Amino acid sequence: SNSETFFFQDFEAWPRNTNYYGAFTNNQWEVSGGMIRGTGTLFGIAHKVRSVTNMCSLNDTNFVTTPTNYWIRTPLLTNGLGTISFWLSRAATATNIQYFVLQTSTNGGLNWQNRANGVASSTNYIQISYTINDYNSLFARIGKTNATGGTAGSRYVNVDDISVTNPPARVLFSNTG
């Protein structure tokens, strides 16, 4: 079917980088301002994966108004974007709230359009899903925008198991007589 999963990312094939956040690529997926991590602690704050061993933690800054440097980007979605689903949490022992945005770009990342905003307010992973149904060739990215309070190590947005589908088939009707 045209709406089957087109891309899936669980970060299991990525090498871990637990001492710094930076820019990384794997199979045309790109992470900027993130760490590929497993369950453990960072600055004494517990983090956990949703499944298996790896997840991506997006930056540790207290306030960022746009996700210019802190995001996960899909490969080019040449058939467009149907639905994007992902699992999100904040640090396992944090008491603060994290914010994120879903954006798309049809011009190679020069300009980004906000498609949805949300909150990662739970220490347990919650599945987030947005149906976009855009038929343009585009990139999609999940970005961290800001946080309220917290200490070093507690302000990460943890993302795991991203699933992207194509938009549904377009059906055109015409009256030919």
Kindly write down the DSSP assignment for every residue of 86-153, as one continuous string: EEEEE-TT--SEEEEEEEEESSTTSS-EEEEEEEE--SS-EEEEEEEEE-S-BEEEEEEEEEES--TT
Segment 92-106, tens digit of pLDDT? 655 666 778 899 999
**Could you tell me which of 67, 81, 54 has the C-alpha nearest to residue 163?**
81
For residue 42, the model assigns a pLDDT of 59
Segment 56-69, tens digit of pLDDT? 888 755 445 555 67
SS3 label, residue 172: coil
Segment 135-177, tens digit of pLDDT? 999 999 998 876 555 555 556 788 999 999 999 988 878 777 6
Q: Strand pairing of 157-165 and 81-90?
A: antiparallel
